[in-house]
Chains A and B, each alone.
Chain A
């Protein structure tokens, strides 16, 4: 230590007394303090002033607490072992036995309660699952009924859409309800679109050939029936389905024309 005065006036000793330093820093100061009496004296003076400051905050001198403490010290530190006649205290034994029994009972009840709670939770989860199954079945049934009605409706025009060069095996059917301006696309026989791609349905006018998008076959994989309902207020003369990047395109990409069909009037 070159300059002990600099060390003292740095303020580190005050932090040391507060206990505001890290363990390593404190240990370091302890070493210096051992070596230099001036540092030790400085620390004692700091301590003394803090002792007085905190004492002045005390509401009163808690002298009487010492009496309570002394009682505790002697009871917790038995030096004299009293020799007593060993007597059997049946009431005490009975008490202990009863409380032990009670504890065991309590524990058993606690366990039982936990089991029941776990069972209840499992049942509730099962119930929720079944409810959602019922709801989705009902949903499906409603959809199917609706589709059946569409198919049976005499006003509906059925247009088969045949597979084209890119996908000769592909096949789809359009059902067009002119009264409600709705077109249903049955896409059962279209291959699942690759990731990031989507089928887009076009209403076609023949002379000149003008395609108008009437919608996307969104969530293709999620739809079990593969029947899609699209709004179509156009005077369509045919329908085509192309594969387009997600979100659809402005104009159809003819190289990826999957199916096509015209209305035979």
Chain B
């Protein structure tokens, strides 16, 4: 119920609630944006835009329609996709490789920067290839169930049940 209270305060333009929301969602949102754009600077700009939208449009969030997390996720994915489709971005990154969140995790655990490399590795170890694809499309790229089924040539129902197994595995490692 705490979460509901926080969102209500955000909708009333409470700056402290906004800061709290930022702390809760900014890293995850930055990760989503980065997985699409693969550019740290550009991702920061988009992150800023996304949180400005969260602030300005908070009143349009309706809990009857879905989760706040999902609402933020949609804003972030849409803003990132708009950006990578824009002309100036395309010109800048003609030789961009089409990699997904798994490649980012792998390259990070190789270089082992500030973040816990062992922590990253465990995601990679538990997720089988189909899980990686499902999570990449459904979560990071924002495909619908139907689009995912078509992309992976998988029956619609299988997408749902297979993904459930994948997320179960993910949960068993993060908790």
Contacts and interface: CB of A to CB of B under 8 A. Distances in A.
Interface of A: 9-12, 14-23, 26-27, 29-31, 43, 45-63, 65-66, 68-70, 72-73, 76-77
Contact of A56 (B43, B67, B123, B162): B123
Secondary structure at the A interface, as helix, strand, loop or mixed, is: helix
Contact of A62 (B18, B47, B65): B47
Contact of A60 (B55, B66, B114, B123): B114
Given A54-B35, A55-B28, A73-B15, A17 B69 contact: yes
A55 B123 CA distance: 12
A54 B31 contact: yes
A51 B51 contact: no
Interface residues of B, number: 62
A55 B24 CA distance: 10
Nearest to B139: A18
A54 B138 contact: no
Contacts of A10: 160-161, 164
Interface string B40-65: 10011001100110011000000111
Nearest to A33: B67
- Closest 10 pairs (CB-CB, A-B): A11-B164, A57-B31, A58-B31, A11-B160, A54-B31, A55-B27, A54-B28, A58-B30, A19-B70, A49-B171
A52 to B, nearest CB: 5
Contact of A65 (B47, B66, B163, B170): B47
Contacts of B135: 53
Contact of A19 (B15, B47, B66, B161): B66
B90 interface: no
